[in-house]
Structure 1
Amino acid sequence: MDTGWSRPARLDLGGLAHRVALTAGWTRLVLAWLAGACGALAMPPFGLVPALALALVPAVWLLDGAATGASRTGRRLGTLLAAARIGWAWGFGYGVAGLWWLGAAFLVEADQFAYLLPLGVLGLPAVLGLFFGAGFAAARLVWSRGPARVLALAFGLSLSEWLRGHLFTGFPWNSLGMALGQNLWLMQAASWLGLYGLTVIAVALAAAPATLADAGEGRTRSAPSLGALAALALLAAAGYARVPAAATPDVPGVRLRLVQPAIPQDARFNPRNRDGILSRYLGLSDSAIGPEARGLADVTHLIWPESAFPFLIQRDPRALAEIVAALPPGTHLVTGAARADEPLPGERLRFYNAIMVIGPDGFVGSTYDKVHLVPFGEYLPAPVDEILRALGLKQFVAVPGGFTAGEPGGHLAVPGLPPVAPSICYEAIFPGAVASRRERPGLILNVTNDGWFGDTPGPRQHFAQARLRAVEEGLPLVRAANTGISAIVDPYGRIIGSLPLGTEAVLDGRLPESLGEATIFVRFGDVNFAVLLLMCLSAAVAARLVRLPRHGFGADVEKGTGSG
């Protein structure tokens, strides 16, 4: 009897995967772009880890069909080029959805930079997409018909992410491993594997559900997904066991105050605001934030963010005198500040984005100059800098000739603090590069100005990546940001205290101790990442050589065209 009700149709994953694999032309590229854009939801501030699966599962299916349409004479090359195009479109979508907020920087001085906005919002993701294209092509080179193709994708994408973080000065922003690098328990694996090791695991786990669409017995299809869930649970359990229930002990005698002035970016570098900005810093620094607080009298170390002044403090005795007068005996100021070196005969004045230490008696003498400068933000890259200047282009920061990079290595010596591993702005996003390996420091100090990007995902992504460095290194993180997020983080990644984005405030806190021993990542660097990468490559190559019986829909779409 017809009751008017019908059973809903069961989702036919095999049919869906088959249709995805058979797409071609612009349809294929648009689908790859949308899948990549979905993957950005796994990044901060959203942190939707399943979104990475929604991005990588279609990527597997699209790569399954990369050989369709390839001519018989150039099938291997045609297949690899098709895979590269799929990867580029996927990476382009991932970049646009994850980095659109870069456009805010072009609107700070809109009269000078707004016309370049498309280069930031679309141009950079398009360039970064080339890395993903290379990763997809490398995966397709060792592609097979069975579950091991998931490991082929983990190999190709993880290798390309490592290259993205190292080539052409490197830009590892939103590396895919950050999908696992936000949860307190899951991020603990970074102390063993680092960000790029997390990337291998994240890609393999997120791509595993693609095999649910394969032909064959249910247990065979579901084994990779069940294995991925088990691995994720094991990772979380290991992280839970690593994080102690008790709070991390504090370094005796250290009382920190982080100042977050929230100065608008369009006012920050205007010399006419000199007196107002300095008064704002000094007023906030000595504010009593509690009934029993005594302002700076309770503080041993005062931290100001990157480029705190619209002038060169080393060449402004009056400003320096005001700062020194405000510091109680025993209190030291650690501040971001531009500085200039006296030029040699015939050379221009060299400017540095620096961190300086100032005590009650003036400059202490310890200075750190930023090593990893932001291309186009702080300098125009050679050898095209002269050409770009001739076309009227200049870096965002209005410094004649741009900043000069400092010399790498060494710690910042601050009286009363353990050796400091300093970093300015996006230097904190580079795994393995925030601390010297020659002498173990006691903390990571990151001063930054994320005011360029307003209330967007950018500053939140920046903080999440800096936080992961604390776990990798086993060091506490002290972070002062102009507009936020300022925070104190212990060596397990636990946030001891923080200030919300966009607020004008100060944060008082103690300095957590570092871990007694260096982490596995500190001792071995990317060796464990390389081992994981080699394991994925070996499994993928072995599966390709074994020539397993055809049991995936990928085999169906390649019938008559070869395996590619």
Structure 2
Amino acid sequence: MTDTAALPTTTTSTATTSWYQQPLILAVLGALLLSGGWSPWPTVWLVPLLFIGWVPYLLMERQLTLEGARKRRVFVSTYLMLVLWNALTTWWVSYAELAAGIAAVVLNALLMCLPLMAFRQTKKRLGNRWGYLSLPIYWLAFEQLHLHWDITWPWLTLGNGFAAAPQWVQWYEYTGFLGGSGWVWVVNLMLFRLAVNNEQLTILGKSVRRPLFTAYCALLIVVPIGISYLIGARYQEKGPTAEVIVIQPNFDPYVEKFEGGPKFIPYEEQLTRMLQLSEQHLTPQTRLVLWPETALEEAVWENTIETNPKIRRVREWLARHPGVALLTGITTINSYPSKEAASETARHRDDLGYYDIFNAGAYFASATAPIAFYHKSRLVPGVEKIPPVLASLISHIDLGGTVGSVGSQTERTVYLAPANAPALRVAPVICYESIYGDFIAEYAHNGATLLGLVTNDAWWHDSPGYRQLLSYGQLRCIETRRDLARSANTGFTGFINQKGEIIQRETAWIPTASRATVHLNDETTFYVRFGELIGRGAQLLAVLLLVAAVVLGFVRKDSKAR
């Protein structure tokens, strides 16, 4: 950005401010526009709103600067826009847990203020050119951080907003979804310059006329989309094939699935339904069956799991269908011999010792092969994971239930291929994990040829949540160039190909199953090989900018003191 976009630092009378320049109006408008990428029914027609969604914020920040507004007013106006955006797009989280839903809106909006306040300080200390240049850097650095800390909640990562338009971002195989975030910011900043500069406009230090500058803005949108369509047109599904079945048993988690529900279905009957749905769709070519998250809900100890009657029943069914592997969601318990050997999430009971509860995946490569476990690693904050600081605060409070986090693991498990399908190496992905691009890429890096997603979308009722989660899976397929087989307790069950196209989708809210032939690609994309280069690079630049801003601030104070 250049100084032609610089904002005056002198104050002016607010009496001349037009109604459309009022911070309240701009905050509401910004929230409405940004929510276009997360509409209740994902549609490509609302995605372009992302390209103008930040312009109201930039105009609001400019107006407040012109008025000489105090920090508190700037913060309140900024927070209002962000909390409205979060509320409009993620209100449905409250269906699963009211407190978590409120926290997702209130706290995430507060965290989003951090990069915007850093931008304000950098602009104040280093000038407008470096200030506006720093804004996308700070935001991308924040999004990268939001992927990895204890209170991670990257649902509204800007690059995820293109989930409803996967044909626009086929180049995610190179940049990952943070490339989409950078694209959004570049276009918004250019359009902001177009809005506030009525006369002189520059590109790379050269003055250009307004029509030409407008054309450049249009090219910033059209060219990446054109490149994406070119990549998509040339891309062909890769790898050998295998037939896979995904099951949707459709148990209502609020009344049917769990013991204590008013219409609880006994676990044996639940297992019967899943076995019957699987049996009805099996063919001699079937190599893998997927059951959804916590399909086997009645918690079992991993070290004695083979004695469980349901596990024996599953093995008997597999024995009648040699050559078929099964991946199922399950709740498991694992014990530790001592406090020293226990994980940081371990619980303790006098009669049980130290143990962890896991939202897990269990893989039966055959009727006799040992069960391979995967423990869900990206946990939902507040529901499955309580940050250590907060956990220590509430550990002595009786909340009427279990206090603590679900256990997890650090590495990405890729299940070994069955003997009759040597190319079938499935990655177990559990629900919430599918919103993390870099996380899913690690599976492909570890040799996975198929993404196997098991989920229970019914926690969110018939809300935008499960529809958006389905769309996020399309982006993960593009980034890794892997097919995805999706088994939902209910929600959307089906298949997505390596171009992010939904090739099969069953109707939600009914017991059903889906069968398809998937491709098993073992090639790795640029993104899989090198990871989040954009996010890590932004974090490095953000640190340098913050240091420069702080140092310059001290230098200026020192010079004034003299």
**TM-score bracket relative to the smaller structure:** 0.7 to 0.9
Which residue number in structure 2 is paired with residue 549 of structure 1?
none
Corresponding letter in the other structure for 2:180: L
Within-5 A mapping of 1:159-170: 159-170=141-152
Which residue number in structure 2 is paired with residue 216 of structure 1?
199
% identity of equivalent residues: 20
User: Is the contact made by 1:442 and 1:513 (CA closer than 8 Å) also made in structure 2?
Assistant: yes
Tell me the distance in 2 between the aligned counterparts of 1:308 and 1:400.
23
Candidates 235, 239, 242, aligned match of 2:228 = 239
Does 2:113 align with 1:133? yes
Cα shift at 1:488? 2.0
Which residue number in structure 1 is paired with residue 298 of structure 2?
311
Q: Residues 360, 530 of structure 1: CA spacing in aligned structure 2 closer, same or farther, 3 A cutoff?
A: closer
Tell me the distance in 1 between the aligned counterparts of 2:525 and 2:53.
32
User: Is the contact made by 1:333 and 1:359 (CA closer than 8 Å) also made in structure 2?
Assistant: yes
User: Is the contact made by 1:194 and 1:521 (CA closer than 8 Å) also made in structure 2?
Assistant: yes
Q: Residues 158, 29 of structure 1: CA spacing in aligned structure 2 closer, same or farther, 3 A cutoff?
A: farther
Aligned residue pair count: 495
Which residue number in structure 2 is paired with residue 405 of structure 1?
408
Q: Residues 123, 404 of structure 1: CA spacing in aligned structure 2 closer, same or farther, 3 A cutoff?
A: closer
Which residue number in structure 2 is paired with residue 58 of structure 1?
56
Q: Residues 335, 296 of structure 1: CA spacing in aligned structure 2 closer, same or farther, 3 A cutoff?
A: farther
1:510-555 deviations in whole A, cap 9, x for unaligned?
1213263x2221222222455678999999xxxxxxxxxxxxxxxx
Which residue number in structure 2 is paired with residue 446 of structure 1?
453
Which residue number in structure 2 is paired with residue 561 of structure 1?
none
Cα shift at 1:207? 4.5
Which residue number in structure 2 is paired with residue 188 of structure 1?
170
The alignment partner of 2:150 has SS state of helix
Which residue number in structure 1 is paired with residue 553 of structure 2?
none
Which residue number in structure 1 is paired with residue 424 of structure 2?
418
The alignment partner of 1:270 has SS state of coil
Tell me the distance in 2 between the aligned counterparts of 1:182 and 1:170.
23
Q: Residues 287, 502 of structure 1: CA spacing in aligned structure 2 closer, same or farther, 3 A cutoff?
A: same
1:417-464 deviations in whole A, cap 9, x for unaligned?
533332211112112112247633212222111110011110111122
1:345-364 deviations in whole A, cap 9, x for unaligned?
66233221111112552453
Which residue number in structure 2 is paired with residue 178 of structure 1?
160
Within-5 A mapping of 1:262-277: 262-266=250-254, 267-270=256-259, 273-277=266-270
1:81-107 deviations in whole A, cap 9, x for unaligned?
55443332222111101101112113x
User: Is the contact made by 2:141 and 2:542 (CA closer than 8 Å) also made in structure 1?
Assistant: no
Does 2:42 align with 1:46? yes
1:77-135 deviations in whole A, cap 9, x for unaligned?
x45x55443332222111101101112113xxxxxxxxxx3x34443212111232122
Tell me the distance in 2 between the aligned counterparts of 1:147 and 1:53.
21
User: Is the contact made by 1:338 and 1:351 (CA closer than 8 Å) also made in structure 2?
Assistant: yes
Which residue number in structure 2 is paired with residue 285 of structure 1?
278
Tell me the distance in 1 between the aligned counterparts of 2:459 and 2:21.
43
Corresponding letter in the other structure for 2:292: P
User: Is the contact made by 1:152 and 1:536 (CA closer than 8 Å) also made in structure 2?
Assistant: yes
User: Is the contact made by 1:300 and 1:330 (CA closer than 8 Å) also made in structure 2?
Assistant: yes
Tell me the distance in 2 between the aligned counterparts of 1:438 and 1:247.
20
Does 2:68 align with 1:85? no
The alignment partner of 1:66 has SS state of helix
Cα shift at 1:36? 1.6
Cα shift at 1:386? 5.5
Tell me the distance in 2 between the aligned counterparts of 1:454 and 1:37.
23
Tell me the distance in 2 between the aligned counterparts of 1:124 and 1:522.
29
Alpha-carbon RMSD across the aligned residues, in angstroms, is: 3.5
Corresponding letter in the other structure for 1:214: N
Cα shift at 1:331? 1.0
Which residue number in structure 2 is paired with residue 11 of structure 1?
none
Cα shift at 1:194? 1.1
- Any stretches of 5+ residues in structure 2 without a counterpart? 1-13, 202-207, 339-349, 546-562
User: Is the contact made by 1:324 and 1:362 (CA closer than 8 Å) also made in structure 2?
Assistant: yes
Tell me the distance in 1 between the aligned counterparts of 2:535 and 2:385.
32
Q: Residues 168, 538 of structure 1: CA spacing in aligned structure 2 closer, same or farther, 3 A cutoff?
A: closer
The alignment partner of 2:514 has SS state of strand
Tell me the distance in 2 between the aligned counterparts of 1:406 and 1:536.
30
Corresponding letter in the other structure for 1:192: Y
Tell me the distance in 2 between the aligned counterparts of 1:373 and 1:179.
21
- Any stretches of 5+ residues in structure 1 without a counterpart? 1-14, 72-77, 107-116, 289-294, 540-564
Which residue number in structure 2 is paired with residue 114 of structure 1?
none
1:163-192 deviations in whole A, cap 9, x for unaligned?
333333421112112233432332212111
Q: Residues 207, 98 of structure 1: CA spacing in aligned structure 2 closer, same or farther, 3 A cutoff?
A: farther
Cα shift at 1:149? 7.0
